[in-house]
Amino acid sequence: MTAEPLLLVGELNTPSVWPASAALAPGGDIAVAGVGLAELADRYGTPAYVLDEDEVRARARAWRQALPDAEIVYAAKAFLCRAVVDWMEQEGLGLDVCSAGELELAATRGFPPERIVLHGNAKSPQDLRTALRLGVGRVVIDSACETARLAARVQGPDAQQVMVRVLPGIEAGAHPKIRTGADGQKFGLSLADGSAEDTIARVLGQPRLELVGLHCHLGSQITETRPYAEAVRRLVAFLAALRDRYGVTLPELDLGGGFAVAYLPGDPAPTPAEYGRLITGTLANACAQHGLPVPRLTVEPGRSVIAPAGIALYRVLAVKRTAGRVFVAVDGGMSDNPRPALYGARYTVRRVGRTSDAPMRAATVVGRHCEAGDVLAESVELPEDVTPGDVLAVPAAGAYQVSMASGYNMTGRPPVVAVSRGRSRLLLRRENFEDLRARDVGL
């Protein structure tokens, strides 16, 4: 396929919303890793998700290069399947998991358990049993009551290494529902009210637990580097206070993830190198100020590794012009991408596989579900002659879409297709009615 580099209006000198391999192809198509998107829509059906394997790997390597002395742990909640587990292992990343299911999937691929971090604000007994059985490297304690519950399950002979998730009191993130570093929400333990120190004292009193460091997570889609620098300063000051009060020097510091990507052309999205320079410089300065050795740093990118590598494909089912607006309804929606309904997330959309001379007009791309809030993209520019049967591509779709997909209206979750070097392969097949029927065991 002959193709030329893809450059959309407004994307020059800004973070691209498309994978680096994306290129314009004949007939109005876009090729990703040498494979046409319209061709993929025909072959695998729609809705479908396309994942550029080489883009994922390149972004994983960019984080390792930005922080060569740190541990880079992929946040599996963004999207996980067997292939992604393999890619992360091969690229030298760890895994951050939040459930026994994610743990078991990693185990089926032989992922080294010592490179796995388990956390979550309410870990189930099954989560803890699975973590201890598989021998995960770190368990992040998120509440005081979890301390005794975890310690009681450790059989030994070695203590389980743990971190305590603390709230540094920092507001950061694209939406209130995904800001997790400030006081007054369900995650972590506050520095301000003493609950973090109280829990740390409890952990230090448990011989079956080995406290190795602090963990924090500020939020998601954080477009600035400054909040991370401020978190480092506050956490290092707390590490110094713990040393002075309890005589312990904790060797690790986990800053979580939340690193932003561009969803629209022009969106701010610092590079891993930009995050890395500020974090490491601030950490060295803060430790020198408090007379502490520099702890081993961990970061947990998820979205920034996988989101820009993914593209959602839909087929237009209906076009409605009413009340001065144009609604373009597609065969997916909030069942495969709940982010616009949950967080007001915004996307760009492009028609692929057909050219025309029609002018561009503002349209709202909506889903097929029985909700007025089932809107995938507001006020996007599409050709005026968009019609049922056209294929629409939504870039930056690799994170928190398939992983959050639901069975609403029994439409079935979409497939995920990997592309690399001119070839495609199915990673996750489409969920069909037989899958849904098999769960219905009642009479």
Q: What is the pLDDT of residues 166-211, one digit of tens each?
A: 998 776 544 455 555 455 677 789 898 999 999 999 999 999 999 9
State how far the Cα of 44 lies from the Cα of 435, in Å rounded to an integer: 18
In sequence order, what E strands does 258-388 have?
296-299, 310-322, 325-330, 350-352, 360-366, 375-383
Token digits of residue 381? 């520019």
By three-state DSSP, how is residue 174 classified?
Answer: coil
pLDDT digits (tens, 9 = 90+) for 368-415: 999 999 999 999 999 999 999 999 999 999 999 999 999 999 999 999
Q: Which residues of the chain, if any, have pLDDT below 50?
A: 1, 7-14, 173-175, 181
pLDDT at residue 442, rounded to an integer: 87
Q: Could you tell me how many residues make up the chain? A: 443
Determine contact, residues 339/72, Cβ cutoff 8 Å: no
Three-state SS at 148 = helix
For 375, residues 6+ apart whose C-beta sits below 8 A from its C-beta are 340, 341, 364, 365, 366, 367
**How confident is the model at residue 355, as a pLDDT?**
94
Beta strand 189-190 with 29-32: parallel, antiparallel or unpaired?
unpaired
Tokens of 284: 């060295």
What are residue 213's DSSP bridge partners? 163, 252
State the helix-helix crossing angle for 195-204 and 226-246, rounded to 10 degrees.
50
Residue 370 is among the residues annotated as catalytic for this protein = yes
Q: According to the model, what pLDDT value does residue 184 have?
A: 64
Separation of alpha carbons 103 and 127, rounded Å: 8
- Residue 302 carries which side chain, given as an amino acid letter? G
- DSSP letter at 321? E
pLDDT for res 175: 47
How is residue 199 annotated by DSSP?
Answer: H
Tokens standing for residue 251: 């060797």
Q: Nearest CA to 146 among 171, 127, 167, 172?
A: 127
